[in-house]
Protein backbone atom coordinates (compact mmCIF):
# COMPACT_ATOMS: atom_id res chain seq x y z
CA UNK A 1 0.00 0.00 0.00
CA UNK A 2 1.46 3.33 -0.99
CA UNK A 3 0.37 5.66 1.75
CA UNK A 4 0.85 9.36 1.85
CA UNK A 5 -0.23 11.31 4.89
CA UNK A 6 -3.19 13.18 3.54
CA UNK A 7 -4.83 16.09 5.18
CA UNK A 8 -8.52 16.64 4.82
CA UNK A 9 -7.93 20.11 6.19
CA UNK A 10 -5.58 21.50 3.58
CA UNK A 11 -4.74 24.46 5.75
CA UNK A 12 -7.60 26.68 4.79
CA UNK A 13 -7.06 30.36 5.19
CA UNK A 14 -9.83 31.78 7.35
CA UNK A 15 -10.70 35.18 6.04
CA UNK A 16 -12.29 37.38 8.60
CA UNK A 17 -15.17 39.70 7.95
CA UNK A 18 -14.10 42.10 10.67
CA UNK A 19 -11.05 44.20 9.99
CA UNK A 20 -7.89 43.07 11.75
CA UNK A 21 -6.31 45.58 14.12
CA UNK A 22 -3.06 46.96 12.76
CA UNK A 23 -0.01 45.41 14.40
CA UNK A 24 1.27 48.89 15.28
CA UNK A 25 -1.89 49.56 17.24
CA UNK A 26 -1.31 46.37 19.23
CA UNK A 27 2.27 47.35 20.01
CA UNK A 28 2.10 51.11 20.50
CA UNK A 29 5.77 51.10 21.56
CA UNK A 30 6.78 50.22 18.01
CA UNK A 31 7.94 53.23 16.03
CA UNK A 32 8.74 53.12 12.33
CA UNK A 33 12.52 53.42 12.03
CA UNK A 34 13.03 56.93 10.67
CA UNK A 35 16.05 55.83 8.64
CA UNK A 36 13.93 53.58 6.41
CA UNK A 37 12.99 55.31 3.19
CA UNK A 38 9.36 55.52 2.11
CA UNK A 39 8.76 53.83 -1.18
CA UNK A 40 8.46 56.12 -4.22
CA UNK A 41 7.23 55.84 -7.81
CA UNK A 42 10.87 55.72 -8.88
CA UNK A 43 11.40 52.62 -6.71
CA UNK A 44 8.38 50.96 -8.28
CA UNK A 45 9.71 51.69 -11.76
CA UNK A 46 12.99 50.05 -10.79
CA UNK A 47 11.28 46.98 -9.31
CA UNK A 48 9.11 46.61 -12.39
CA UNK A 49 12.24 46.57 -14.51
CA UNK A 50 13.42 43.58 -12.42
CA UNK A 51 10.27 41.47 -11.94
CA UNK A 52 8.18 42.64 -14.90
CA UNK A 53 4.64 43.98 -14.82
CA UNK A 54 3.17 40.69 -13.57
CA UNK A 55 5.77 40.24 -10.84
CA UNK A 56 4.29 42.64 -8.30
CA UNK A 57 1.03 43.70 -6.65
CA UNK A 58 0.33 47.22 -5.46
CA UNK A 59 -3.44 47.25 -5.49
CA UNK A 60 -4.65 47.88 -1.92
CA UNK A 61 -7.45 45.30 -1.97
CA UNK A 62 -5.37 42.57 -3.58
CA UNK A 63 -2.71 43.17 -0.96
CA UNK A 64 -4.96 42.38 2.02
CA UNK A 65 -4.05 38.64 2.23
CA UNK A 66 -0.34 39.49 2.03
CA UNK A 67 -0.60 42.16 4.72
CA UNK A 68 -2.63 39.97 7.10
CA UNK A 69 -1.38 36.84 8.87
CA UNK A 70 -3.05 33.40 8.87
CA UNK A 71 -4.68 33.95 12.26
CA UNK A 72 -6.07 37.35 11.30
CA UNK A 73 -4.22 38.68 14.31
CA UNK A 74 -1.45 40.80 12.78
CA UNK A 75 -1.77 43.32 9.97
CA UNK A 76 0.77 45.50 8.26
CA UNK A 77 0.47 48.35 5.78
CA UNK A 78 2.77 47.43 2.94
CA UNK A 79 2.04 49.02 -0.38
CA UNK A 80 3.99 46.58 -2.51
CA UNK A 81 4.35 42.82 -2.89
CA UNK A 82 7.24 41.70 -5.10
CA UNK A 83 7.15 38.15 -6.48
CA UNK A 84 10.56 37.39 -8.01
CA UNK A 85 11.09 34.33 -10.22
CA UNK A 86 14.84 33.85 -9.87
CA UNK A 87 17.65 34.14 -7.35
CA UNK A 88 19.16 36.89 -9.52
CA UNK A 89 15.93 38.88 -9.21
CA UNK A 90 15.95 38.47 -5.42
CA UNK A 91 19.56 39.60 -5.41
CA UNK A 92 18.85 42.70 -7.54
CA UNK A 93 15.86 43.62 -5.33
CA UNK A 94 17.81 43.30 -2.09
CA UNK A 95 20.86 45.15 -3.45
CA UNK A 96 18.56 48.04 -4.37
CA UNK A 97 16.67 47.95 -1.04
CA UNK A 98 19.95 47.89 0.82
CA UNK A 99 21.26 50.92 -1.10
CA UNK A 100 17.97 52.78 -0.73
CA UNK A 101 17.29 51.71 2.88
CA UNK A 102 13.96 50.13 2.00
CA UNK A 103 12.77 47.58 4.59
CA UNK A 104 11.70 44.12 3.39
CA UNK A 105 9.64 41.22 4.78
CA UNK A 106 10.42 37.82 3.22
CA UNK A 107 7.18 35.87 2.88
CA UNK A 108 6.50 32.23 2.06
CA UNK A 109 3.02 30.69 2.33
CA UNK A 110 2.10 33.15 5.11
CA UNK A 111 1.05 30.37 7.49
CA UNK A 112 3.35 31.45 10.32
CA UNK A 113 1.72 31.73 13.74
CA UNK A 114 3.79 34.50 15.35
CA UNK A 115 3.21 37.46 13.04
CA UNK A 116 6.65 37.13 11.41
CA UNK A 117 5.52 36.91 7.80
CA UNK A 118 3.62 40.18 7.51
CA UNK A 119 4.94 43.73 7.78
CA UNK A 120 4.57 45.88 10.87
CA UNK A 121 4.64 49.19 8.97
CA UNK A 122 5.15 49.67 5.23
CA UNK A 123 7.92 47.13 4.61
CA UNK A 124 7.99 45.73 1.08
CA UNK A 125 6.76 42.13 0.98
CA UNK A 126 9.08 39.76 -0.90
CA UNK A 127 6.81 36.83 -1.59
CA UNK A 128 8.57 33.70 -2.81
CA UNK A 129 5.67 31.87 -4.45
CA UNK A 130 6.98 32.28 -8.01
CA UNK A 131 10.22 30.51 -7.16
CA UNK A 132 8.63 27.08 -7.31
CA UNK A 133 10.78 24.75 -9.39
CA UNK A 134 12.30 21.44 -8.40
CA UNK A 135 15.97 21.78 -9.37
CA UNK A 136 17.24 18.20 -9.11
CA UNK A 137 16.61 14.87 -7.45
CA UNK A 138 19.06 12.03 -6.86
CA UNK A 139 17.01 8.84 -6.72
CA UNK A 140 19.89 6.89 -5.16
CA UNK A 141 20.57 9.15 -2.20
CA UNK A 142 17.13 10.79 -1.96
CA UNK A 143 18.64 14.27 -2.06
CA UNK A 144 16.29 16.91 -3.46
CA UNK A 145 17.19 20.43 -4.48
CA UNK A 146 14.41 22.92 -5.05
CA UNK A 147 13.48 26.58 -5.09
CA UNK A 148 12.48 27.93 -1.69
CA UNK A 149 8.97 28.85 -2.84
CA UNK A 150 7.90 25.26 -3.54
CA UNK A 151 4.81 24.32 -1.51
CA UNK A 152 5.58 21.50 0.94
CA UNK A 153 2.68 19.31 -0.20
CA UNK A 154 3.56 19.80 -3.87
CA UNK A 155 7.10 18.60 -3.15
CA UNK A 156 5.76 15.66 -1.15
CA UNK A 157 3.44 14.62 -3.97
CA UNK A 158 6.25 15.01 -6.50
CA UNK A 159 8.48 12.78 -4.39
CA UNK A 160 5.70 10.21 -3.90
CA UNK A 161 5.95 9.32 -7.57
CA UNK A 162 9.58 8.47 -6.99
CA UNK A 163 8.96 6.47 -3.83
CA UNK A 164 10.26 9.19 -1.51
CA UNK A 165 8.68 11.72 0.84
CA UNK A 166 9.49 15.02 2.53
CA UNK A 167 11.03 14.54 5.98
CA UNK A 168 8.56 16.96 7.56
CA UNK A 169 4.80 17.17 7.57
CA UNK A 170 2.42 19.71 9.04
CA UNK A 171 -1.21 20.63 8.70
CA UNK A 172 -0.21 23.79 6.82
CA UNK A 173 1.48 21.74 4.11
CA UNK A 174 -1.00 22.76 1.41
CA UNK A 175 0.16 26.38 1.69
CA UNK A 176 3.52 26.64 3.45
CA UNK A 177 6.75 26.81 1.44
CA UNK A 178 9.84 24.73 2.05
CA UNK A 179 11.75 28.04 2.36
CA UNK A 180 9.29 29.19 5.04
CA UNK A 181 9.61 25.84 6.81
CA UNK A 182 13.38 26.27 6.94
CA UNK A 183 13.16 29.94 7.92
CA UNK A 184 10.98 28.90 10.90
CA UNK A 185 12.77 25.58 11.51
CA UNK A 186 9.31 23.99 11.46
CA UNK A 187 8.94 20.78 13.46
CA UNK A 188 5.62 19.17 12.67
CA UNK A 189 4.20 15.71 12.94
CA UNK A 190 7.14 13.55 11.93
CA UNK A 191 10.08 15.11 13.76
CA UNK A 192 10.04 12.17 16.15
CA UNK A 193 11.03 9.88 13.27
CA UNK A 194 12.98 11.99 10.78
CA UNK A 195 14.57 14.60 13.02
CA UNK A 196 14.76 18.36 12.70
CA UNK A 197 15.60 20.44 9.65
CA UNK A 198 18.97 21.15 11.26
CA UNK A 199 19.75 17.53 10.36
CA UNK A 200 17.92 17.01 7.06
CA UNK A 201 18.81 20.28 5.32
CA UNK A 202 22.12 19.68 3.54
CA UNK A 203 22.56 23.01 1.85
CA UNK A 204 20.97 26.39 1.22
CA UNK A 205 21.18 29.19 -1.29
CA UNK A 206 20.64 32.46 0.51
CA UNK A 207 20.60 36.06 -0.66
CA UNK A 208 22.05 38.34 1.98
CA UNK A 209 20.68 41.79 2.80
CA UNK A 210 23.12 43.54 0.43
CA UNK A 211 22.23 41.25 -2.47
CA UNK A 212 25.20 38.87 -2.17
CA UNK A 213 24.24 35.34 -3.21
CA UNK A 214 25.61 32.78 -0.77
CA UNK A 215 25.69 29.54 -2.72
CA UNK A 216 25.89 26.68 -0.23
CA UNK A 217 23.67 24.22 -2.12
CA UNK A 218 25.69 21.26 -0.91
CA UNK A 219 24.33 17.81 -1.61
CA UNK A 220 26.81 16.17 0.70
CA UNK A 221 25.83 14.36 3.86
CA UNK A 222 29.26 14.86 5.30
CA UNK A 223 31.25 18.07 4.98
CA UNK A 224 33.52 19.31 7.74
CA UNK A 225 35.08 22.29 5.99
CA UNK A 226 34.65 25.42 8.06
CA UNK A 227 31.68 26.81 9.95
CA UNK A 228 28.37 25.22 8.99
CA UNK A 229 26.88 28.55 7.92
CA UNK A 230 23.57 27.17 6.67
CA UNK A 231 22.61 26.33 10.25
CA UNK A 232 22.50 30.04 11.05
CA UNK A 233 19.71 30.58 8.52
CA UNK A 234 17.58 27.64 9.70
CA UNK A 235 15.11 29.26 12.09
CA UNK A 236 16.31 32.83 11.42
CA UNK A 237 12.79 33.92 10.35
CA UNK A 238 13.89 36.07 7.42
CA UNK A 239 16.03 38.41 9.53
CA UNK A 240 19.49 37.72 8.10
CA UNK A 241 18.90 36.53 4.54
CA UNK A 242 16.33 35.34 2.04
CA UNK A 243 16.44 31.62 1.38
CA UNK A 244 16.10 31.03 -2.36
CA UNK A 245 17.22 27.41 -2.76
CA UNK A 246 17.17 24.29 -0.63
CA UNK A 247 19.01 20.97 -0.65
CA UNK A 248 17.33 18.42 1.58
CA UNK A 249 17.66 14.74 2.39
CA UNK A 250 14.37 12.93 1.82
CA UNK A 251 13.50 9.50 3.26
CA UNK A 252 12.00 6.60 1.33
CA UNK A 253 8.23 6.48 1.48
CA UNK A 254 7.09 3.65 3.71
CA UNK A 255 5.28 0.79 2.05
CA UNK A 256 3.28 -0.07 5.15
CA UNK A 257 1.55 2.59 7.23
CA UNK A 258 -0.85 2.15 10.16
CA UNK A 259 -2.74 4.76 12.11
CA UNK A 260 -4.43 4.15 15.46
CA UNK A 261 -6.41 6.42 17.75
CA UNK A 262 -6.71 5.65 21.46
CA UNK A 263 -8.82 7.17 24.22
CA UNK A 264 -7.17 7.45 27.66
CA UNK A 265 -8.19 8.50 31.13
CA UNK A 266 -5.13 10.42 32.31
CA UNK A 267 -2.00 12.15 31.19
CA UNK A 268 -0.01 9.60 33.18
CA UNK A 269 -1.52 6.98 30.87
CA UNK A 270 -0.45 9.06 27.87
CA UNK A 271 3.12 8.97 29.14
CA UNK A 272 3.00 5.23 29.80
CA UNK A 273 1.63 4.67 26.29
CA UNK A 274 4.40 6.79 24.81
CA UNK A 275 7.17 5.07 26.75
CA UNK A 276 5.82 1.68 25.79
CA UNK A 277 5.42 2.67 22.12
CA UNK A 278 9.14 3.40 21.91
CA UNK A 279 9.91 -0.02 23.30
CA UNK A 280 7.33 -2.03 21.35
CA UNK A 281 7.10 -0.12 18.07
CA UNK A 282 10.65 1.25 18.13
CA UNK A 283 11.91 1.72 14.55
CA UNK A 284 8.45 1.78 12.92
CA UNK A 285 7.00 4.52 15.13
CA UNK A 286 6.55 7.60 12.92
CA UNK A 287 4.19 9.83 14.92
CA UNK A 288 2.89 10.07 18.47
CA UNK A 289 0.48 12.98 18.88
CA UNK A 290 -1.91 13.86 21.68
CA UNK A 291 -4.87 16.13 22.30
CA UNK A 292 -7.13 16.71 25.26
CA UNK A 293 -10.91 16.53 25.41
CA UNK A 294 -11.22 20.32 25.28
CA UNK A 295 -9.38 20.41 21.94
CA UNK A 296 -11.57 17.60 20.66
CA UNK A 297 -14.72 19.45 21.71
CA UNK A 298 -13.55 22.46 19.70
CA UNK A 299 -12.94 20.20 16.72
CA UNK A 300 -16.39 18.66 17.00
CA UNK A 301 -17.98 22.08 17.38
CA UNK A 302 -16.60 23.29 14.06
CA UNK A 303 -16.41 20.17 11.93
CA UNK A 304 -18.92 17.55 11.03
CA UNK A 305 -17.35 14.70 12.98
CA UNK A 306 -18.66 11.15 13.15
CA UNK A 307 -17.57 9.68 16.48
CA UNK A 308 -15.41 6.59 16.18
CA UNK A 309 -15.58 5.65 19.86
CA UNK A 310 -18.64 5.12 21.99
CA UNK A 311 -17.82 7.82 24.48
CA UNK A 312 -15.41 10.69 25.04
CA UNK A 313 -12.15 10.39 27.00
CA UNK A 314 -10.06 13.06 28.71
CA UNK A 315 -7.09 12.35 26.40
CA UNK A 316 -6.46 11.01 22.92
CA UNK A 317 -3.30 9.76 21.28
CA UNK A 318 -2.74 9.23 17.60
CA UNK A 319 -0.06 6.71 16.75
CA UNK A 320 1.36 6.17 13.29
CA UNK A 321 3.71 3.40 12.26
CA UNK A 322 5.63 3.38 8.98
CA UNK A 323 7.69 0.43 7.86
CA UNK A 324 8.49 -1.82 4.95
CA UNK A 325 6.68 -5.03 5.92
CA UNK A 326 2.94 -4.82 6.55
CA UNK A 327 2.60 -8.18 8.31
CA UNK A 328 5.49 -7.42 10.61
CA UNK A 329 4.18 -3.93 11.40
CA UNK A 330 0.60 -5.13 11.91
CA UNK A 331 1.83 -7.76 14.33
CA UNK A 332 3.87 -5.27 16.31
CA UNK A 333 1.07 -2.72 16.46
CA UNK A 334 -1.54 -5.31 17.42
CA UNK A 335 0.64 -6.60 20.23
CA UNK A 336 1.25 -3.05 21.47
CA UNK A 337 -2.44 -2.13 21.33
CA UNK A 338 -3.44 -5.32 23.12
CA UNK A 339 -1.03 -4.52 25.92
CA UNK A 340 -2.41 -1.00 26.19
CA UNK A 341 -5.98 -2.29 26.46
CA UNK A 342 -5.29 -5.27 28.73
CA UNK A 343 -3.23 -3.18 31.12
CA UNK A 344 -5.92 -0.51 31.24
CA UNK A 345 -3.63 2.18 29.84
CA UNK A 346 -6.01 2.83 26.96
CA UNK A 347 -9.79 2.67 27.44
CA UNK A 348 -10.79 2.32 23.80
CA UNK A 349 -9.18 2.53 20.41
CA UNK A 350 -9.54 2.19 16.68
CA UNK A 351 -7.10 1.24 13.93
CA UNK A 352 -7.66 2.66 10.46
CA UNK A 353 -8.60 -0.07 7.98
CA UNK A 354 -8.02 1.87 4.82
CA UNK A 355 -6.61 5.13 3.54
CA UNK A 356 -9.86 7.02 4.01
CA UNK A 357 -9.94 6.06 7.68
CA UNK A 358 -6.31 7.10 8.05
CA UNK A 359 -7.21 10.45 6.52
CA UNK A 360 -10.15 10.79 8.90
CA UNK A 361 -8.10 10.04 12.01
CA UNK A 362 -5.28 12.36 10.96
CA UNK A 363 -7.95 14.87 9.99
CA UNK A 364 -8.83 15.36 13.66
CA UNK A 365 -5.26 16.20 14.59
CA UNK A 366 -4.71 18.35 11.50
CA UNK A 367 -8.01 20.17 12.02
CA UNK A 368 -7.40 21.37 15.58
CA UNK A 369 -5.63 24.61 14.62
CA UNK A 370 -8.24 25.39 12.00
CA UNK A 371 -11.09 24.67 14.44
CA UNK A 372 -9.63 27.10 16.97
CA UNK A 373 -9.21 29.62 14.18
CA UNK A 374 -12.99 29.67 13.85
CA UNK A 375 -13.34 30.90 17.43
CA UNK A 376 -13.47 34.67 18.08
CA UNK A 377 -9.89 34.89 19.40
CA UNK A 378 -7.05 32.58 20.44
CA UNK A 379 -3.84 33.12 22.40
CA UNK A 380 -1.37 30.55 21.08
CA UNK A 381 1.58 29.20 23.00
CA UNK A 382 4.03 26.69 21.65
CA UNK A 383 6.35 25.50 24.36
CA UNK A 384 8.96 22.82 24.98
CA UNK A 385 9.00 21.38 28.47
CA UNK A 386 9.79 17.96 29.91
CA UNK A 387 6.98 15.59 28.82
CA UNK A 388 6.07 14.91 32.44
CA UNK A 389 5.31 18.62 32.94
CA UNK A 390 3.05 19.11 29.92
CA UNK A 391 -0.19 18.50 31.73
CA UNK A 392 0.89 20.28 34.94
CA UNK A 393 1.47 23.34 32.82
CA UNK A 394 -1.98 23.13 31.23
CA UNK A 395 -3.75 22.53 34.56
CA UNK A 396 -1.78 25.30 36.17
CA UNK A 397 -2.88 27.73 33.45
CA UNK A 398 -6.53 26.75 33.85
CA UNK A 399 -6.26 27.31 37.60
CA UNK A 400 -4.36 30.58 37.17
CA UNK A 401 -7.00 31.99 34.81
CA UNK A 402 -9.80 30.86 37.11
CA UNK A 403 -8.29 32.45 40.19
CA UNK A 404 -7.58 35.53 38.08
CA UNK A 405 -11.35 35.76 37.50
CA UNK A 406 -11.30 35.41 33.72
CA UNK A 407 -12.28 31.76 33.29
CA UNK A 408 -14.92 29.40 34.61
CA UNK A 409 -18.13 31.45 34.53
CA UNK A 410 -20.54 31.88 31.65
CA UNK A 411 -19.63 35.54 31.32
CA UNK A 412 -15.86 34.96 31.63
CA UNK A 413 -13.76 36.23 28.74
CA UNK A 414 -11.96 32.87 28.41
CA UNK A 415 -13.99 30.23 26.58
CA UNK A 416 -11.56 27.36 27.18
CA UNK A 417 -7.95 26.34 27.63
CA UNK A 418 -6.96 23.52 25.31
CA UNK A 419 -3.78 21.51 24.84
CA UNK A 420 -2.45 19.29 22.08
CA UNK A 421 0.86 18.56 20.47
CA UNK A 422 3.86 16.47 19.77
CA UNK A 423 4.39 14.29 22.84
CA UNK A 424 7.47 12.68 21.37
CA UNK A 425 9.13 16.08 21.07
CA UNK A 426 8.08 17.39 24.50
CA UNK A 427 6.18 20.13 22.66
CA UNK A 428 2.72 21.21 23.78
CA UNK A 429 0.49 23.72 22.01
CA UNK A 430 -1.37 25.52 24.76
CA UNK A 431 -4.22 27.54 23.27
CA UNK A 432 -6.37 29.91 25.27
CA UNK A 433 -9.62 30.55 23.44
CA UNK A 434 -11.35 33.82 24.26
CA UNK A 435 -14.42 35.83 23.33
CA UNK A 436 -12.16 38.62 22.08
CA UNK A 437 -8.57 39.77 22.34
CA UNK A 438 -8.57 40.97 25.92
CA UNK A 439 -5.71 42.46 27.94
CA UNK A 440 -7.27 41.16 31.17
CA UNK A 441 -6.48 37.69 29.83
CA UNK A 442 -3.17 38.33 28.08
CA UNK A 443 -1.77 40.20 31.09
CA UNK A 444 -2.52 37.14 33.21
CA UNK A 445 -0.86 34.76 30.73
CA UNK A 446 2.25 36.77 29.95
CA UNK A 447 4.84 36.68 31.39
CA UNK A 448 3.37 34.15 33.87
CA UNK A 449 3.59 31.28 31.38
CA UNK A 450 7.09 32.20 30.23
CA UNK A 451 8.26 32.29 33.86
CA UNK A 452 6.74 28.84 34.35
CA UNK A 453 8.55 27.56 31.25
CA UNK A 454 11.88 29.09 32.29
CA UNK A 455 11.55 27.57 35.77
CA UNK A 456 11.31 24.15 34.12
CA UNK A 457 14.22 24.78 31.74
CA UNK A 458 11.88 24.83 28.76
CA UNK A 459 11.66 26.93 25.62
CA UNK A 460 9.06 29.64 25.02
CA UNK A 461 8.96 28.59 21.37
CA UNK A 462 9.39 24.96 20.43
CA UNK A 463 8.64 25.35 16.73
CA UNK A 464 6.61 28.39 15.69
CA UNK A 465 9.37 30.93 16.32
CA UNK A 466 9.39 34.44 17.73
CA UNK A 467 8.15 36.94 15.12
CA UNK A 468 6.46 39.86 16.85
CA UNK A 469 4.53 37.64 19.25
CA UNK A 470 7.40 36.28 21.35
CA UNK A 471 10.52 38.34 20.53
CA UNK A 472 10.33 40.49 23.66
CA UNK A 473 10.36 37.34 25.80
CA UNK A 474 13.48 35.76 24.30
CA UNK A 475 15.30 36.34 27.60
CA UNK A 476 13.21 33.60 29.19
CA UNK A 477 14.92 31.04 26.96
CA UNK A 478 18.31 32.55 26.09
CA UNK A 479 20.99 34.21 28.21
CA UNK A 480 21.94 37.90 27.81
CA UNK A 481 25.27 36.83 26.31
CA UNK A 482 23.53 34.73 23.68
CA UNK A 483 21.08 37.49 22.81
CA UNK A 484 23.95 39.94 22.49
CA UNK A 485 25.75 37.59 20.09
CA UNK A 486 22.52 37.22 18.08
CA UNK A 487 22.28 41.01 17.82
CA UNK A 488 25.92 41.23 16.72
CA UNK A 489 25.31 38.55 14.09
CA UNK A 490 22.24 40.39 12.82
CA UNK A 491 24.20 43.65 12.63
CA UNK A 492 27.02 41.94 10.73
CA UNK A 493 24.79 40.27 8.14
CA UNK A 494 22.23 43.07 7.84
CA UNK A 495 23.98 46.27 8.96
CA UNK A 496 21.12 48.53 7.83
CA UNK A 497 18.53 46.31 9.49
CA UNK A 498 16.33 46.11 6.37
CA UNK A 499 15.40 42.41 6.72
CA UNK A 500 12.21 41.74 8.66
CA UNK A 501 12.68 44.64 11.11
CA UNK A 502 10.94 44.97 14.53
CA UNK A 503 10.85 41.18 14.98
CA UNK A 504 12.72 38.12 16.27
CA UNK A 505 15.14 39.91 18.62
CA UNK A 506 13.94 41.99 21.57
CA UNK A 507 13.39 45.59 20.49
CA UNK A 508 13.39 47.05 23.96
P1 LIG B 1 5.62 32.28 6.32
O2 LIG B 1 4.52 32.20 7.28
O3 LIG B 1 5.37 33.00 5.07
O4 LIG B 1 6.89 32.95 7.03
C5 LIG B 1 7.31 32.53 8.30
C6 LIG B 1 8.63 33.25 8.64
O7 LIG B 1 9.65 32.82 7.76
C8 LIG B 1 8.55 34.76 8.50
O9 LIG B 1 9.36 35.34 9.47
C10 LIG B 1 9.13 35.02 7.11
O11 LIG B 1 9.73 36.29 7.02
C12 LIG B 1 10.16 33.91 6.98
N13 LIG B 1 10.34 33.39 5.61
C14 LIG B 1 9.43 32.77 4.83
N15 LIG B 1 9.99 32.38 3.68
C16 LIG B 1 11.29 32.76 3.74
C17 LIG B 1 12.40 32.64 2.85
N18 LIG B 1 12.30 32.03 1.67
N19 LIG B 1 13.59 33.14 3.25
C20 LIG B 1 13.73 33.74 4.45
N21 LIG B 1 12.72 33.90 5.32
C22 LIG B 1 11.52 33.41 4.96
N23 LIG B 1 4.77 24.93 12.51
C24 LIG B 1 5.46 23.87 12.98
O25 LIG B 1 6.64 24.02 13.26
N26 LIG B 1 4.87 22.63 13.16
C27 LIG B 1 3.57 22.41 12.86
O28 LIG B 1 3.07 21.31 13.03
C29 LIG B 1 2.82 23.49 12.32
N30 LIG B 1 1.55 23.32 11.98
C31 LIG B 1 0.84 24.36 11.49
C32 LIG B 1 -0.49 24.14 11.16
C33 LIG B 1 -1.26 25.18 10.66
C34 LIG B 1 -2.69 24.92 10.29
C35 LIG B 1 -0.68 26.47 10.49
C36 LIG B 1 -1.47 27.59 9.93
C37 LIG B 1 0.65 26.69 10.83
C38 LIG B 1 1.43 25.65 11.34
N39 LIG B 1 2.76 25.83 11.70
C40 LIG B 1 3.48 24.77 12.18
C41 LIG B 1 3.40 27.17 11.68
C42 LIG B 1 4.31 27.62 10.51
O43 LIG B 1 5.62 27.87 11.03
C44 LIG B 1 4.51 26.73 9.41
O45 LIG B 1 3.23 26.70 8.83
C46 LIG B 1 5.54 27.04 8.28
O47 LIG B 1 6.84 26.60 8.58
C48 LIG B 1 5.64 28.47 7.81
O49 LIG B 1 5.98 28.44 6.43
P50 LIG B 1 5.45 29.56 5.43
O51 LIG B 1 6.00 29.27 4.08
O52 LIG B 1 4.00 29.73 5.52
O53 LIG B 1 6.20 30.84 6.00
C1 LIG C 1 0.35 21.86 15.22
O2 LIG C 1 1.13 21.09 15.77
C3 LIG C 1 0.85 23.23 14.86
O4 LIG C 1 -0.78 21.53 14.88
C5 LIG C 1 -0.11 24.36 15.25
O6 LIG C 1 2.12 23.46 15.33
C7 LIG C 1 -0.29 24.44 16.74
O8 LIG C 1 -2.45 25.45 16.63
C9 LIG C 1 -1.38 25.39 17.23
O10 LIG C 1 -1.19 26.02 18.26
ZN1 LIG D 1 3.03 21.73 16.24
What confidence tens digit (pLDDT) does each residue in 299-312 have?
999 999 888 899 99
Residue 500 near ligand 1, beta carbon < 6 Å: yes
CA–CA separation, 10 and 1 (whole Å) = 22
Q: How many A from CA of 380 to the centre of ligand 3?
A: 11
- The DSSP bridge pattern shows strands 285-292 and 201-207 to be unpaired
343 and 411 in a single domain? The answer is no
Residue 247 near ligand 1, beta carbon < 6 Å: no
Q: Is residue 228 part of a domain?
A: yes
343 and 315 in a single domain? The answer is yes
Total tally of structural domains belonging to the chain: 4
298 and 241 in a single domain? The answer is no
> Which pLDDT does position 338 carry in this prediction?
96
188 and 281 in a single domain? The answer is no
Closest C-alpha residue for ligand 2 atom 8: 369
Residue 243 near ligand 1, beta carbon < 6 Å: yes
Q: How many A from CA of 191 to the centre of ligand 1?
A: 16
User: Considering the entire predicted model, what is its pTM?
Assistant: 0.96
266 and 365 in a single domain? The answer is yes
**Phi and psi at residue 57, in whole multiples of 5°?**
-130, 130
User: Does the pLDDT at position 194 exceed 50?
Assistant: yes
With cut-offs at 50, 70 and 90, classify the pLDDT of residue 422: very high
With cut-offs at 50, 70 and 90, classify the pLDDT of residue 18: low
| For residues 250-260, average pLDDT | 97
The torsion region of residue 345 among left (phi > 0), alpha (psi -120 to 50) and beta comes to alpha
Residue 197 near ligand 1, beta carbon < 6 Å: no
Q: Is residue 363 part of a domain?
A: yes
With cut-offs at 50, 70 and 90, classify the pLDDT of residue 24: confident
174 and 205 in a single domain? The answer is yes
Looking at every residue in the chain, the average pLDDT score rounds to: 95
Q: How many A from CA of 235 to the centre of ligand 2?
A: 17
Residue ranges making up the domain that contains 53? 23-127
Closest C-alpha residue for ligand 2 atom 5: 369
Domain-ending residue, one of 306, 341, 371: 371
Q: How many A from CA of 113 to the centre of ligand 3?
A: 10
| For residues 86-90, average pLDDT | 98
The H-or-E segment that residue 444 falls in is helix 439-445
Q: Is residue 3 part of a domain?
A: no
**pLDDT, tens digit, 9 for 90 and up, residues 438-473:** 999 999 999 999 999 999 999 999 999 999 999 999
The CATH number covering residue 268 comes to 3.30.70.2190
CA–CA separation, 106 and 208 (whole Å) = 12
Residue 113 near ligand 1, beta carbon < 6 Å: yes
Q: Is residue 222 part of a domain?
A: yes
Amino acid sequence: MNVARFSIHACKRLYTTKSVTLTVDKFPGYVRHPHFKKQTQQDLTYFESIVGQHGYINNKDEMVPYNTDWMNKFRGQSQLVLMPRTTQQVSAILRYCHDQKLAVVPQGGNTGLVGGSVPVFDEIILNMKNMNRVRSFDSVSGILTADAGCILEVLDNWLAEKGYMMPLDLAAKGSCHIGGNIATNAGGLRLLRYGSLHGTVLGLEVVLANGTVLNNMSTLRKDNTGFDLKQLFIGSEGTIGVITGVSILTPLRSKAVNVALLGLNSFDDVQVAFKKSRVELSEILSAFEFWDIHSFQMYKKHFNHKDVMEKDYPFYILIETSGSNKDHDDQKLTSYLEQMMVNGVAQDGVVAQDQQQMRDLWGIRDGLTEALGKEPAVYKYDISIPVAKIWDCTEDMRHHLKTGGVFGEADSPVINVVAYGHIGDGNVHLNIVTKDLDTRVSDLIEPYLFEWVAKHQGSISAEHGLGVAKNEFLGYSKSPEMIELMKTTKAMLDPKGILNPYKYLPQS
